Amino acid sequence: MTAEVVPTAAALVIGNEILSGKVQDTNSRDLALLLRKLGVRLEQVLVIPDDRARIAAAVAHLAKSYDWVFTSGGVGPTHDDVTIEAVAEAFGVRAVTDEETAQLIRRHYGARCTEGHLRMALVPEGAALETTESVRWPTVRMGNTFVLPGIPEVFRMKLAVVEHVVGRHRPFVSHAVYTKMDEGDLKPLLDAVVAAHPEVDVGSYPTWTDPRFRTKLTFDGLEESAVVAAKERFLASLPAGEPQWTDP
Amino acid sequence: MTAEVVPTAAALVIGNEILSGKVQDTNSRDLALLLRKLGVRLEQVLVIPDDRARIAAAVAHLAKSYDWVFTSGGVGPTHDDVTIEAVAEAFGVRAVTDEETAQLIRRHYGARCTEGHLRMALVPEGAALETTESVRWPTVRMGNTFVLPGIPEVFRMKLAVVEHVVGRHRPFVSHAVYTKMDEGDLKPLLDAVVAAHPEVDVGSYPTWTDPRFRTKLTFDGLEESAVVAAKERFLASLPAGEPQWTDP
């Protein structure tokens, strides 16, 4: 991976509770925000049920297709927690008990420790167990695939480990312009910017609810000078007197 | 599709703004809640960038694999709105202007109408244009694939059209139990219920933040009697005096 190549990532969210609408997934957005900060391009989010065969097939495919894969959910002691076994299957290894994690669990639960609790020490054979100074409980990483828990508070806590292991790459630069013009009128202006700045990702997002503006335009890229040039070109093309504001 | 077979669905969310973390996707959850009510099983949510080739490949695959497909986003006049062309490509047809929609657009914008606005009249050739009494603006459906807009307020409005066309199937029944026991201790109790009631989908969700309970158990299925029996079996297996409450 050279400095010129943007690392890519996929998120695999595992959970019947999300597909049935019982729970709003927020983990993939928290991950998206972190990856953006790290300069890693999140190229896909896939939400599937707690189904071992489907998880294994998805992990096998994603781990080959992207630099990093992050699973969320299906980690725990109960029958519906099948992610560890599925990741093991995807990598063609067994799920085995990690003795160090088992010790941590025995120490934590003491006399109350059950076979159920000890299931949380299962890891794909050969997995790395990542820790940081602040996050001491081991985080399972099998090759390029992080196995993260579904509980949002715990997922967020583990992102510090992701940041530590993945590291910071060249960050994305993002500028925004807000205008009261609608997309139909903006189209020729945007087409001109897109044609002149193919290296800048130009986004156009209408709002139906914010009274302050009608369309938000975003200019994203790796080269700050190119992003700024595209934004300035767009601003210069707006009709005189058209209200707009920018961020930054 | 007989009454015994549960129709299946996939959601395809199109949007760089979601993958970059700028926006939290809520459309797939609103869709999930509706499909649950209609008795349709949402089996996958896939979020991908505004990339015509990727959208086309995803639609072609999903439309063959599920009874219904719902795309969200990438519909509009600007350069990053490529969903209509991609859906057309997936179905092997051209994108053409629908004259009736073009008339609606011309009437709406009057003298201000631009080529950009008229791009919103593009449809895959042969698409059905669905309307209801309350949602008069046409909603594009190509075979089993609904093309829905990304703006959450408009997406939600269009769900009335989805409900109208998809119709109500046998609804899912869902019961929940809340307990202060942890998953490690619950595991043997849940394993017994899962073994006795393979037709009921039993879910176990720990919380780290709600002081009222430690684990939420869900019992979902098509047969109310089976769901209730599984829940009752679980309740009867809880240690005497263990606090719990149920919903319903």
User: What digits encode the pLDDT tens for the residues A181-210?
Assistant: 999 999 999 999 999 999 999 999 999 889
User: What digits encode the pLDDT tens for the residues A5-53?
Assistant: 899 999 999 999 999 999 999 999 999 999 999 999 999 999 999 999 9
Query: A-contacting residues of B 68-87, CB under 8 Å?
Result: 76-81
| B239 is a domain residue | yes
B3 pLDDT tier (thresholds 50, 70, 90): very low
Is A154 in the same domain as A201?
A: no
Set of chain B residues whose Cβ sits within 8 Å of the Cβ of A205: 17, 23
Nearest Cα to Cα of residue B222 among B197, B195, B246: B197
Is B92 in the same domain as B61?
A: yes
Is B126 in the same domain as B27?
A: yes
- As a whole number of angstroms, the distance between CA A5 and CA B53 comes to 21
B4 pLDDT tier (thresholds 50, 70, 90): low
pLDDT mean over B224-242: 96
Which of A138, A166, A194 is the last residue in one of the domains?
A166
Q: What is the CATH number of the domain that holds B228?
A: 3.30.70.1710
pLDDT value at residue A4: 60
Is B158 in the same domain as B208?
A: no
Q: What is the total count of domains within chain B?
A: 2
User: What digits encode the pLDDT tens for the residues A61-102?
Assistant: 999 999 999 999 999 999 999 999 999 999 999 999 999 999
Is B236 in the same domain as B195?
A: yes
Nearest Cα to Cα of residue A16 among B168, B41, B47: B41
A43 in contact with B, Cβ within 8 Å: yes
What percentage of residues in chain A have a pLDDT greater than 70?
98
pLDDT mean over B156-182: 96
By Cβ distance, the residue of A18, A26, A36 closest to B20 is A36
Q: Residue A2 pLDDT more than 90?
A: no
pLDDT value at residue A1: 35
What percentage of residues in chain A have a pLDDT greater than 90?
94
Q: Which residue of A has its CA nearest to B153?
A: A208
pLDDT mean over B94-103: 96
A139 Cβ contact list (under 8 Å, min separation 6): A129, A130, A131, A146, A147, A148, A158, A161
Mean pLDDT of chain B: 95
User: What digits encode the pLDDT tens for the residues B216-227?
Assistant: 999 999 999 999
Q: Which residue of B has its CA nearest to A14?
A: B44
Which of B129, B149, B166 is the last residue in one of the domains?
B166
Set of chain B residues whose Cβ sits within 8 Å of the Cβ of A206: 76, 151
- Parallel, antiparallel, or unpaired for β B68-72 and B8-14? parallel
Q: What are phi and psi of B23, to 5 degrees?
A: -130, 140
Contact assignment for A45 to B43 by CB distance below 8 Å:
no
Q: Residue B1 pLDDT more than 50?
A: no
Measure Cα distances from B154 to B7, B19, B93, B143 in Å: 25, 21, 26, 21
Is B96 in the same domain as B15?
A: yes
Q: Residue B56 pLDDT more than 90?
A: yes
pLDDT mean over B13-20: 97
Read off the pTM: 0.95
pLDDT value at residue A142: 98
pLDDT value at residue B5: 85
- Provide the residue range defining the domain that includes B236: 173-247
Query: A-contacting residues of B 203-242, CB under 8 Å?
Result: 203-209, 218, 220
| B147 is a domain residue | yes
Set of chain B residues whose Cβ sits within 8 Å of the Cβ of A48: 43-44
User: Could you tell me if A175 and A246 are in contact, meaning their C-beta atoms sit under 8 angstroms apart?
Assistant: yes
Is A49 in the same domain as A134?
A: yes
pLDDT mean over B113-123: 94
| B3 is a domain residue | no
Which of A110, A142, A166 is the last residue in one of the domains?
A166
Set of chain B residues whose Cβ sits within 8 Å of the Cβ of A190: 78-79
Is B55 in the same domain as B141?
A: yes
Q: Which residue of B has its CA nearest to A113?
A: B184
Set of chain A residues whose Cβ sits within 8 Å of the Cβ of B29: 18, 21, 24-25
